[in-house]
Amino acid sequence: MKNFLQENKQLFRWITMEHEKFLEELLTLLIQDNITNEKAEDFGAEIFEKGISFSKLAIFLDLFSQKLNTKEYENYLIVRDKVAKGYLRRRLPQEIESLKLGINNNPNIVSKDDLAIITELLHWLEKLIDSVLHETKPPEINGRIAEFIAFVNERSGIFFDNATVKKDFLKTNNELYQCAKEAVDFYEQRRYFYFNLTYIELIALFLKMTTLMSGMFLEEELLSIYIDPITKLPNRFQLLKDLDKFSNVYLLILNIRSFSRLNVLYGYDFGDGILKKLANILMQTCAIKSYRIYGDEFAVLVENEEDVYRLYDRLNGTIEIKTKDEPFTLYFYGAFDEFVPQALESCEFALFRSDKKELLDSRVVKEMIHEVKHELTMTQKLKEIMVKDSIIPYYQPIYSTHEDNEKIIKYEVLMRLEYDGKLLQPGEFLSILLEAPFYTEFTKSILIKSFQTFANNDFTFSVNFTLKDIKDKNIKILLDTLCRQQPKVAKRLTIEIVESEALKEFELLNDFIQYFKKCGISFALDDFGSGYSNFAQFAKLDIDYIKIDGSIVQNLLTDEKMQKLLDSIIAFADTLQLNTIAEYVDKKELFDLLKNRVDMIQGYYIGKPQPILQESQL
């Protein structure tokens, strides 16, 4: 037990000196036969007393359980629930009082009459805690979804005019309901360990719901004013209310270019003067109604698209502002769309997303909204894929061109995803996955599965890493653990890093390479030669391979410049004693051209990515 603690101490930095002896005793207890309930529960209570996070302990114990034999693991599962039960008995009595205190001390909640939803949740939690402590039947939870939907739908006013807010309420309530069902199921099965983890999530969701309710009551008071104090124009909230008043009109959003710079140079009072002047001009135009949204953003309602362009041309570059230095001409950028629900959000999003400081028309706005809907849908699919671990490694063979070793010696591990029975290709999900907050979980899955696959053969293999992977502490911990558990496999691993990202944080990348070089891991720069290549900077990195960018390889047969670029890259690699890999080789002519010039070849001519390892058809 002591060895396990010492080996994994760096992975679990919450383990202090005072915890070590206790954890050694706990690990010993977990695998013993015939441990009394009282003794196991005493350990659980002590976990709470020592302030050890149960969630962190659960991860620690999961890693420990992987080291156990069958008999020890069976004992571990039994004793683990007894320990968790003791932890609960110590924690729960204090929990409900703390929750009550938090609600009673929240002035935004206790001052309101309609608290049925909060009190209902609190009473249900109190009954659940009581049933766990006394081992009685848990409270019923049927009917909460319908009641809460009715509660939300009955609300009116500024706060609930926002569809996103309403959706967040309903989503949180649904998550709370599902979590409560899982907690009750685990309790009825007396699986106290899993009940404890679910209960922790349940409390977090309860607190989130309380926060949402508090925000609702607070905003209903604060957002009761509909006039902008500076320009005296109606504000954003009045615009949202006016959705019910106007139909068959267009919404134009306008922003002043370089407005923040004017504020910095001449002060906020000067900036306020510009806003007032623009408000006066807008009231004298063809606008049906004008609003100041926030900052330098204005909204205007007009009859049709022609009026949009007429008003924009009337304002853009025609308003001159006197400064203490010299006159300054105002220029604008904006977006417009039909004035329908969420038109304001759509236009603002389009302005945020676009790099162009110009007038974006209705068509462009709609295209951007369609794109973001697709991204959100795909993000949700990706989350489901992550939960189900429907992440499938595909293996593409890499061929050695050395005379004494002309054969498949290496595989690149590529990611494919399965959703609803369909295999998703990288072009369908990769750009969206890279922006997802849970992206690194996919890299972890590929790493684990790669180590499992190549533990049973002698092939070398490579896995792609982005800068986000390199910066993620949990990936570093996992990779370090895999290196310790399977050092022979780790020595056959190559991590491929996209070149375009490498220069962004050179020191971080270099530290990562140096750390895992000690484990025998090799490193490659992927897509070498794409865009601008800083050869001098890369020469400082302790890498082993460069993969020549596919755009260079695929044009070698028709473009002499690409052949010269290839010669430069090979000469660079030879100087630094780096192996070269040419990818995207899809025909025999390319293979024949490259086989005596590079060290390895990859592409459809060698073999397509497959879910199993296979030899080349050459």
Write down the domain spans for the chain.
2-220, 236-360, 374-602
pLDDT in tens, 252-285: 999 999 898 888 888 989 999 999 999 999 988 8
Higher model confidence: residue 464 or residue 35? 464
Residue 15: C-alpha distances to residues 5, 60, 270 (Å): 9, 10, 57
Residue matched to tokens 């050869």: 535
| Range in 105-109, 133-137, 282-286, 351-355 with the lowest mean pLDDT | 105-109
Sign of CA dihedral 418, 419, 423, 429: negative
Q: Determine contact, residues 567/529, Cβ cutoff 8 Å.
A: no
CA distance 255 to 331: 9
Residue matched to tokens 């049933």: 131
pLDDT in tens, 40-93: 899 888 888 888 888 888 888 888 888 889 988 888 899 999 999 998 888 888
The mean pLDDT of the chain is 86
CA distance 7 to 583: 40
> Is the model's pLDDT at 221 over the cut of 60?
no
pLDDT in tens, 399-442: 999 988 889 999 999 999 999 999 999 988 998 999 899 999 99
Residue matched to tokens 């009715």: 150
Higher model confidence: residue 258 or residue 163? 258
| Range in 302-306, 513-517, 538-542 with the lowest mean pLDDT | 538-542
Neighbours of 297 (CB within 10 A): 19
Q: What is the pLDDT of residue 174?
A: 83
Higher model confidence: residue 243 or residue 7? 243
Among 134-148, 215-229, 317-331, 473-487, the range with the most confident prediction by mean pLDDT is: 473-487
Residue matched to tokens 């499938």: 392
Residues in CB range of 471: below 8 A, 6 or more apart: 505, 508
Q: What is the pLDDT of residue 117?
A: 67
Reported as a pLDDT band with limits 50, 70 and 90, residue 611 is very high
End-to-end CA separation in angstroms for the chain: 52
Q: Are strands 297-302 and 289-294 parallel, antiparallel or unpaired?
A: antiparallel
Q: What is the pLDDT of residue 161?
A: 62
Q: What is the pLDDT of residue 1?
A: 61
CA distance 15 to 13: 5
pLDDT in tens, 226-260: 788 788 888 988 899 898 889 899 999 999 998 98
Reported as a pLDDT band with limits 50, 70 and 90, residue 617 is very low
| β-pair partners for 407 | none
Residue 420: C-alpha distances to residues 374, 384, 439, 486 (Å): 17, 10, 20, 34
* CA proximity to 330, closest of 320, 340, 322, 344: 320
Q: What is the 3-state secondary structure (H, E, C) of 533-575?
A: CCHHHHCCCCCCEEEECHHHHCCCCCCHHHHHHHHHHHHHHHH
Higher model confidence: residue 601 or residue 364? 601
Residues in CB range of 325: below 8 A, 6 or more apart: none
| Range in 187-196, 213-222, 285-294, 565-574 with the lowest mean pLDDT | 213-222
Q: Which helix (H) or strand (E) holds 605?
A: none
| β-pair partners for 397 | 411
Reported as a pLDDT band with limits 50, 70 and 90, residue 395 is very high
Tell me, yes or no, if the pTM score tops 0.85: no
248: alpha, beta or left? (left if phi > 0; alpha if psi -120 to 50):
left
Reported as a pLDDT band with limits 50, 70 and 90, residue 532 is very low
| β-pair partners for 302 | 250
Which architecture characterizes domain 236-360 according to CATH?
2-Layer Sandwich (3.30)
Q: What is the pLDDT of residue 119?
A: 74
> Is the model's pLDDT at 111 over the cut of 60?
no
The domain 374-602 is classified under which CATH number: 3.20.20.450, 3.90.245.10, 3.90.199.10, 1.20.120.1200? Answer: 3.20.20.450
Residue 438: C-alpha distances to residues 175, 386, 394, 441 (Å): 18, 8, 21, 6
Higher model confidence: residue 540 or residue 552? 552
